[in-house]
A = this chain, B = another copy of it.
Amino acid sequence: MIRLTQMVQKTGCSVKIPAQELKQVLSALKPNVSDLNLLIDGGTFDDAAVYKVSENMALVQTVDFFTPSVDSPYEFGKIAAANALSDVYAMGGVPKLALAVLGYPLATLDKAIVQKIMQGAQEVLQLAQTHLVGGHSIDNADLIFGFSVTGFVNPQKIWSNQGAQGGDLLILTKPIGVSALTTALKRGLSTEKEIEIGIQSMSTLNEIQSLLSEDNIKGIHAVTDITGFGLSGHAMQMAIASQKTIKIRYSDIPCFKGALDILEQGLLTKAHRTNRAYTQEQSDWSVLSETEQLMINDPQTSGGLLISVSPLLANEILDKLKIKFVNAAIIGQVMDKNGESVTHVSLNNDRVIEKSIDKLSAPWVIYEK
């Protein structure tokens, strides 16, 4: 039987172009023409963008695709769909339309495999009440698959990684360490059956609004999804965007069983290193062992949501999330930062965020045992 992970050099989100490289590639671009309806300019290439079309409707736009991180075509399709939809959920939106981004080696890959990928994806899209409305497919050496997704969000109710408040508690909905699991799978050191819980997690939709009350939702101050940059990278982005210090207790982070052992054995992807390089100057993980540092920098494919919530509502929200996300946990807290206050920070805009770094000082994320 064909094993998808054997067909590609790198698997899943670890195939992503590293953040530092991307920043240089985009550095010379002319900025977008000013447009008041462009509420969130996802110019960093990694977040969703938001464009207002009326007083109560804005479009959420995102695109995500990657190489297989699992062997089963059907599961790969499900994961790719859940992963692409995640950015819309992370913004508080509802996905509606999806366009497929597909590449595969036409001469060597049986089209029955591609059919199964599409079937898995369509199943998850339909669960998300999202229409597959087209796509584009090319003959490519590596199998790559994903979606461009358009969702809707009320412009007054957008979640972003800006907005975390001092005193908030941080909930993480899914365990981390999935790249460790899939790397072991690729190297033949574990079976798809053994990492089933990781596969299930990756194909679970990040939809949480249907689980919560209106009051619960009002208590949510900031949200991001944990993907290629790992918990470390995405927590850092939230801290900087919110101009707060985030404290994370390592022992409270849900991790996939066996993942730490795999990292201990040195089964790493390139992204483990690039993520560390991306975050190390802004983080203090000095109390963590070398392997634990790899764990927080493990790139996630279709990872969970990191949610900054009012401490008064945190336990109630956690209980409700646990119905769908059994491993969800409170992993840390948000603290006001000492330093000069910053009057204006654009949402998700790297350039402006960097200006703020000069005023407030690192570390932005502090890890405890």
Instruction: Name A's B-contacting residues (CB within 8 A).
Output: 10, 15-18, 21-22, 24-30, 32-33, 35, 38, 41-49, 51, 53-54, 57, 59, 61-67, 96-97, 99-104, 106, 111, 114-115, 118-119, 122-123, 126, 129, 131-142, 144, 146, 148, 150, 152
- Interface contact B22-A137, CB-CB below 8 Å: yes
Do the beta carbons of A133 and B25 come within 8 Å of each other?
no
Is the CB–CB distance between B25 and A134 below 8 Å? Answer: no
This chain's copy number in the assembly: 2
Contact of A133 with B97 in the complex, beta carbons under 8 Å: no
Give the contacting residue for A146; candidates B51, B129, B136, B152; CB below 8 A.
B136
Which of B25, B44, B66 is the one whose CB lies under 8 Å from A118?
B25
24 contacts between A and B (CB under 8 A): A15-B138, A16-B138, A16-B139, A17-B138, A17-B139, A22-B137, A24-B115, A26-B118, A28-B118, A29-B119, A29-B132, A35-B131, A41-B131, A45-B100, A45-B134, A45-B136, A49-B99, A49-B134, A51-B131, A53-B57, A53-B152, A62-B134, A99-B148, A148-B148
> Nearest Cβ in chain B — how far from A101, in angstroms?
6
- B-side contacts of A48, CB under 8 Å: 134
Q: What distance in Å separates the Cβ of A9 from its nearest Cβ neighbour in chain B?
A: 8
Q: Are B21 and A133 in contact (CB under 8 A)?
A: no
Chain B residues whose CB sits within 8 angstroms of the CB of A25 once the complex forms: 111, 114-115, 118, 137
CA distance A56 to B63 in the complex (A): 27
Q: A99: which of B38, B63, B111, B123 is its contact (CB, 8 Å)?
A: B63
Chain B residues lying within 8 Å of A123, measured Cβ to Cβ, are: 30
Shortest CB–CB separation between residue A50 and chain B, in angstroms? Answer: 9
- A67: nearest residue on chain B (CB-CB)? B138
Given A138-B16, A144-B103, A150-B61, CB of A97 within 8 Å of CB of B49: yes
A16 touches B148 (CB 8 A): no
Q: Is B134 within 8 A of A138, CB to CB?
A: no
- A41 and B122 form a contact (CB under 8 A): no
- The answer to whether A43 and B133 touch (CB under 8 A), given A66-B138, A140-B140, is yes
**Bound state CA distance, A134 and B42, in angstroms?**
5
Contacts of A141 in B (CB 8 A): 140-142
Q: Are B63 and A135 interface neighbours, CB within 8 A?
A: yes
Q: Which 4 residue pairs are nearest across A and B when measured between Cβ atoms?
A: A42-B134, A49-B133, A148-B148, A17-B137
In the complex the two chains form, what is the Cα distance from A17 to B100 in whole Å?
A: 13
Q: Which residue, of A64, A126, A132, A138, has the highest number of chain B Cβ atoms within 10 A? A: A138
Check if B111 sits within 8 Å of A21, measured CB to CB.
Answer: yes
Instruction: Please measure, in the bound complex, the distance between the C-alpha atom of A285 and the C-alpha atom of B64, giving whole angstroms.
Output: 42
